[in-house]
Structures are given as C-alpha cells and as structure tokens.
Structure 1
Amino acid sequence: MSPTSRPRTVLVTGAAKRLGRSIALALAAGGWQVAVHYRASAQDAMDTVAACADLAGASAHFDADFEDETAVRNLVPRVITHFGSLDAVVNSASLFEHDDVQTFGFAALEKHLRSNTATPVLLAQALHRHVADRVAAGEADARGAVVNLLDQKLWNQNPDFMSYTLSKAALEAAGTMLALALAPRVRVVGVAPGLTLTSHMLSDEKFTQLHALSPLGRSSTPEDVAATVKFALENQSITGTTLLVDGGQHLMKFERDFSLM
C-alpha cells in the first residue's frame, strides 16, 4: 500500500454476511475504508456498511452478480468512482453448491468457475490497471494487494463438492500466476480457512464436534481468518503463497466434506 496519509480502501466481495462481513469489520477497525460487495442481500450489506462506517468513517455497498462478466468488470470502476481510489481486493464471495463425480456436469462447473475463479482474476486485473494508472499520474509509490479466500480441502481432498473444489484449485493456481504477472505493483496472497462457520447442513452440536477435529483441537474462527487477511494485506513482503488458517485440519485425512460427515 502507499505510505501516504490517504485513507486505504479495500473492496471485500461477499461482505454482507458471514465470513465476508467479519473480514470487512476487521479491516474497518484497522482503518480501512470498505467497499462492501453483495449480490442479493441488500439489507445485510447496508447493515455491514453502517457497522464499518462506525469504525472507519467511510463505507459503501455495491451490488454485482458474479455470473455476469459485465457486472464484474464494472465493479472496480464503480468503487473507484465512489472512493476516488482503491488499494486492495479481498475475494471472499464464494459459490458452494454440492455435486460429485456422479452428478458433475458442464453447467455446475461453469457456474462455479465464473464466481470462484474468473471473477477474482478479473478483479485483480482491474486493480492492477488502476494502480498502473496511479503510477502514470505521478503516484510513484502506488501499490496494491489481492487476497483470495481458498479452502483447506485443497490440501485434504475428498470427493464431495467437486465443481467447488475444482474452482478453488484453479483460483489457487491463478494466485501464483497473478503474483508473477502483477508484480511488483500488486501482491497476491491466498488465505485458506478450515471449518469456520456452521451451515444449514450442520447442527450446532455437530459443528462444535467437527470444529474440534484438528491437531490444535480447534479450527479457524471468523476472527482468525479476518486477522490473517489483514496481515496479508499489510505485510509488504508476502506474495504468491497461501496462508492456511485451519488449526492444522489440512494435516488430517477426512473421507467426506465436513457438511456430510
């Protein structure tokens, strides 16, 4: 990031709810202006904006459907128009729909690849172009950073959620390629949580049991993941790697996805 006194601005995708909201709030608490992306949860997005504004003094919400390439390409310019500049993108939004080798098909994979792989690449591309424009305009020390949310299951594979897993594996590979292609102006870092939040597929009791299945006796919390994202954004020497934040769950073998155990 630029060491100037100008407030730093970050776009957090999927920031209306759940993990994205936790990341947005942690960054706002750290002084970042937060652009809150959402797809359909407008009220939740406005609530996140209000909470971020209380912490950092500036936030705004931006809708975009990540299956629509035009909407994706327009998102960063919209954020820049509102805030005047953009320093970072956190790709937290994620499509997570179940399929396996028996139900796999083109449509499911294409849907996951659009949301989970292509969109983060296009947003990184747009950030890099914006940083280059700032350099050309005389801001010689302009820098940017991208954090991609991945998944410990890439290092601990099972046969569930095939299209989702393939799309996240492609994003992990894209992170390496982007780190090389966008250096030295833009850094790219992956953050891979373990089981962090429950879902409609898990009871509270089951979630507590599964969350404890790790060498450390606990997996990641939203606060753990958000703190790691903030660290990745602010540490100027990290790029082209992934930080696993999972209590060591990737070191254990699970035959099924947590939601189906």
Structure 2
Amino acid sequence: MSISPRPRTVLVTGAARRLGRSIALALATGGWQVAVHYRESAQDAIDTVAACAQLAGASAHFEADFSDEAAVRALLPRVVAHFGRVDAVVNSASLFEHDTAQSFSFAALEKHLRSNTGAPIVLAQALHQHLQERTAAGDADARGAVVNLLDQKLWNQNPDFLSYTLSKAALEAAGTMLALALAPLVRVVGVAPGLTLTSHLLSDDKFQQLHALSPLGRSSTADDVAATVRFALENQSITGTTLLVDGGQHLMKFERDFSLM
C-alpha cells in the first residue's frame, strides 16, 4: 500500500493581489498548500485563499505589516502553527514608491529596506530555524527554499525609484549570502521580472507599447513569472543565483523607469 506524500506548504507574501496572487494560484495548481500573506487587502486575500483551496485542498490568509519587525518575525511561526510545517517562502510583497537623488531621504530608504530587504531576510532566517527544528525531530526531508522577487532594472539601472532600487539591490546581494549561510537546509533563488503588469501610472496603450520593448518583442507575463517561481522552488539544484524573466529587457538601455517613460 503506497503512502501519499505529505503536501508541501509555501508562504507567499503579497499574495492577495496582482503578481503575488498569480504566483499563489500557480503553486496551488502544482499541489502546494498556500499561506497567503497580505497587509491591507483582506477581502482580496480571502478570495485568493478560496481559489487556492479549490486547487490544492488547503489555504489560509495571514496579515502582517512588513514595516514592523515583530510582526514579520511572528509570521512564519503563525503559518507553521496553522499548517504544521512550512517548506518554502516566496517573497513577492514589495514597496514601490518614487524618489530620486534629489528627493532621497533616510526615511524613504529605511521604509523600503524594512519591507523589501529586511522582511525577506527575516523570513528566510525563520524558515531555516524551522527546518533545523524539523531535522532535530528526525524529519529526513527537512529541506526548503526561498524565492525572492527582484527586478530586471538591477541589471539595467536608471536614476528613478532610488530607494526602491537600492532595497532590491541589497536583497539580491543578500540572496548570495543567504544561499551560503543557510545551506544545505535552504536554497535561495532570485526571480527578476521585467515589465509585467500595468498600473495607475500607465495607460493600457502605453503599457502594451512598453511591454513590447525587448529583444523578444515581449516582456514577462504574470504566468511567466509564476512558472519560474514554481521551477525555482521545485528544482533541487538551484541556489545562489537569479533567473531573469523579462524577454531580455535587461539587455537594453532605458534612461527612465517604465512608469515615467
């Protein structure tokens, strides 16, 4: 009589809406139980949980403000308490506020570093500790992964969104250090999309025009990014590197951020 493998559980931050939701649904389609993190979009989180639960059989939502270190540190233990274990973290939540070299302030930088850099590091730290505890309890399968959502603009810099870019650059560097420090229990992989979804800063026509600006004639879609996240989580030999999913936009020079072009 065969025994069904125990379901894997992933915490996806910022999963209530937009790209985080697409990632959550793709992982649920692959059989992952999804812990949906959100900050303010409670109803959207509930809707995402319902959609994930239909696909994977189990999902739940968890609120946390990533500017609050105590809230971040409490998040993964809350997910463990609900599901019994966690096998992976996808850091999709991101603060994206405009500043420049002229408007830069310590406050703006700290705000972005807390949300975009500090929180992902703390969650990786917490996952590693959880896996150490499982190993000590005799769990021979205690291995996990962290995927950090980055940005192609790290390889194609322009002067816009200075604090945001610095926070993502710090997270990219942290990925290398964490891959070394947390091995062999935790793999750490970056996924860097190009222009993927439109926003209030772009009209639909402008978005389509900018989305086509790449060597492949198209940048990333939410499905492209979600599929890459799933690949990174499930390929046991990848760590300490970043997968650029942008249609080659990082190979082109843009003088301004897409939202300001």
| In structure 2, distance between residues paired with 1:205 and 1:55 | 34
Correspondence 1:87-236 to 2 at 5 A: 87-236=87-236
| In structure 1, distance between residues paired with 2:76 and 2:56 | 20
- When the two chains are superposed, the root-mean-square deviation of aligned CA atoms in Å is 0.9
TM-score with structure 1 length normalisation? Answer: 0.98
Report the alpha carbon displacement of residue 158 of structure 1 after superposing the two structures with TM.
Answer: 0.1
Partner of 1:72: 72
Report the count of equivalent residues.
259
Runs of 4+ in 1 over 2 A off after TM superposition: none
SS in structure 2 at match of 1:177: helix
Report the alpha carbon displacement of residue 140 of structure 1 after superposing the two structures with TM.
Answer: 2.0
The one-letter code matched in structure 1 to 2:182 is: L
- Percent identity over the alignment is 85
| In structure 2, distance between residues paired with 1:201 and 1:186 | 37
Report the alpha carbon displacement of residue 141 of structure 1 after superposing the two structures with TM.
Answer: 2.6
TM-superposition CA deviations, 1:165-206 (whole Å, max 9, x none): 000000000000000000011000000000000010000000
TM-superposition CA deviations, 1:68-105 (whole Å, max 9, x none): 00000000000000000000000000000000000000
SS in structure 2 at match of 1:218: coil
| In structure 1, distance between residues paired with 2:246 and 2:141 | 34
TM-superposition CA deviations, 1:131-174 (whole Å, max 9, x none): 01000000123100000000000000000000000000000000
Partner of 2:32: 32
Runs of at least 5 residues in structure 1 that lack an aligned partner in the other structure? none
Runs of at least 5 residues in structure 2 that lack an aligned partner in the other structure? none
TM-score with structure 2 length normalisation? Answer: 0.98
Report the alpha carbon displacement of residue 61 of structure 1 after superposing the two structures with TM.
Answer: 0.0
The one-letter code matched in structure 2 to 1:147 is: V
| In structure 1, distance between residues paired with 2:196 and 2:87 | 27
